[in-house]
A and B are shown apart, each in its own frame.
Chain A
Amino acid sequence: MTIKGKAYIAGIYEHPTRHAPDKSTAQLHAEVAKGAIEDAGISKDDIDAYFCAGDAPGGAWPMVDYLGLNTKKLRHVDSTETGGCSYIIHLGHAAEAIAAGKCSIALITLAGKPRTGAMPPRAQGAEADFETAYGATTHNAYGMCAMRHMHDYGTTSEQLAWIKVAASHHAQYNPHAMLKDVVTVEDVLNSPMISDPLHRMDCCVVSDGGGALIVTTPEIAKSLKKPQVRLIGHGEAMKGPRGGKDLDLTYSAGIWSGPRAFEEAGITPKDIKYASIYDSFTITVLMQLEDLGFCKKGEGGKFVADGNLISGVGKLPFNTDGGGLCSNHPVNRGGMTKILEAVRQLRGEAHPKVQVPNCDLAIAHGTGGLLGVRHAASTAILERV
């Protein structure tokens, strides 16, 4: 069975807030749910499936209750937790459930407030005694990947900086973006070193906020008013040091999730008009572009340089909302916002200055966890109908 064309994204909403000390986390989930429901033009009481991850206070059943979802109708839940890419995985799982007839209108929510206060630490696995003391954080785990990528392939800080430069060119048009100033390669290189070889401007922002999706059947989507956007390919994968054998930190699990999604969609990276690529750090983008097949392994530095990711300038417009590097990174999880901007592009609702003309095929790809330690990845390929 394939999910190709079996599920449509009928409603989207991104919370405009970037700092919400005056709101509860559950409240943010409710606000984004309400936004996506209104965007789709459906009734809350028609929702029969709910998807959330570790950011939802208490998990699925407290959230279903808090959100006032119709429990006489709700017949499918999924709280798959794979960090930042959870919501891209949820999108695929929603499509599977819809294709199997297990639900017809799914709500997916993400929200939280890491800018207001520190997030609780993630639950640890069997590795805890052998890793926790060494202080792997997002910064140094991705720093380790960048260090090895530079060693193996000659990737430079200048090349990485181009990714931030491209994001900043897009963010200047996003009124909600945290960082709206256009920056240069020199600005990135002159920003303080955080964890070698990553500078401050190689890192994403920390923001409060959230987002939500409504995923539904082709029939229901066609009865609604919004432009139709459907999922035509989906992949998920995981990677870790696996006993320490043949450690290679220069690629991510996207090397497996990407081809799975492209194969299902029946297209290749060359067909993609717009790419939402998780940008927790500049190196995250570079590695994923290679892993997804937009360029060969090791050639990501050359691929991203000279504005190749800037809409209207380069060959692969990416993260036209400014992405995590400039706009927002709600709950320290970038998967949801990657889908949201891809849908805006396909609908023709991106800012006119960054809208990709005739955008009919887009990719939304993300990872969760730490690329330098262990992580998940998920790839969604979306099509305007």
Chain B
Amino acid sequence: MTEAKKYPAPVTNPETAAFWDAAKQGKFMIKRCTACGEAHYFPRSICPFCYSDKTVWEEASGEGTIYTWSLMRKSPTGPYAIGYVTLKEGPSVQTNFVDCDLEKLKIGQKVKVVFKPTDGAPLPFFTPA
């Protein structure tokens, strides 16, 4: 069911275009502020912590752990698992878990990024590492 699911293409905008361009190369990008050193997600041009405009793109490891999850069992497109992954680099990101037994997800479990195609740029998802 998850395999057949059709995901919407990102609309993209000038602030985030580089993220989606990198996604086409299979790279998962985050933004880091060179003023305060903090990484954040989703990407902004102004650091949400110190308000510096000295933010730069950084390729993330794509590795992290499950912060929380919930398996949505009542959905017209079939069951899906939403959750947050805390990246190795620090920020937590909202995602879906794919290509695995959704009944067996666990908080703290190690996961890695995997991209799924859309009609536009591919979207990042996570699967057990």
Contact = CB atoms under 8 A, between A and B. Distances in A.
Interface of A: 126-137, 139-141, 143-148, 151, 192-198, 241-245, 247, 249, 372-373
Contacts of B73: 192-196
Given A135-B80, A144-B83, A151 B94 contact: no
A131 B94 CA distance: 6
B4 interface: no
Interface string B25-54: 000000000000010111010001100000
Contact of B69 (A132, A135, A144, A198): A144
Nearest to A193: B73
Contacts of B86: 247
Contacts of B20: 129
- Identify the 9 closest CB pairs spanning chains A and B, nearest first: A143-B70, A244-B91, A243-B40, A130-B42, A247-B92, A148-B68, A129-B10, A243-B48, A140-B70
Interface in B5-32: 7-8, 10-13, 15-16, 20
Contacts of A137: 72
Nearest to B33: A243
A243 B80 contact: no
Given A131-B42, A241-B92, A372-B70, 19 more contacts: A126-B15, A128-B11, A129-B13, A130-B94, A131-B94, A133-B10, A134-B82, A134-B94, A141-B82, A143-B72, A194-B72, A194-B74, A195-B70, A241-B84, A243-B48, A247-B84, A249-B67, A249-B68, A249-B84
Contacts of A145: 68
16 contacts: A129-B11, A129-B12, A129-B42, A130-B41, A131-B94, A132-B8, A133-B10, A135-B72, A137-B72, A194-B74, A195-B70, A195-B74, A241-B84, A244-B41, A245-B40, A249-B67
Contacts of A192: 73-74
Interface string B58-84: 000000000111111111000010111
A196 B71 contact: yes
B94 A241 contact: yes
Measured as residues with beta carbon below 8 angstroms from the partner, the interface class of chain B is: 35 or more
Contacts of B91: 243-245
A244 B31 CA distance: 11
B123 interface: yes
Given A129-B10, A147-B107, A243-B44, A134 B95 contact: yes
Contacts of B11: 128-129
B120 to A, nearest CB: 10
A303 B2 CA distance: 39
A245 B90 contact: yes
Most buried by A among B10, B13, B20, B42: B42
Contacts of B107: 147-148, 151
B69 A147 contact: yes
Most buried by A among B11, B71, B118, B123: B71
A328 to B, nearest CB: 21
B27 to A, nearest CB: 15
Nearest to B108: A151
Contacts of B68: 144-145, 147-148, 151, 249, 372
Most buried by A among B68, B71, B74, B86: B68
Contacts of B49: 243, 245
Nearest to B6: A133
Interface in B73-129: 73-75, 80, 82-84, 86-87, 90-96, 107, 118, 123
A144 B8 contact: no
Contact of B75 (A132, A135, A196, A244): A135
A244 B93 CA distance: 6
A133 B119 CA distance: 13
A198 B68 CA distance: 14
A156 B107 CA distance: 16
A147 B13 CA distance: 34
Most buried by B among A130, A140, A195, A244: A244
Contacts of B40: 243-245
Contacts of A126: 15, 42, 44
Contacts of A146: 70
A140 B82 contact: yes
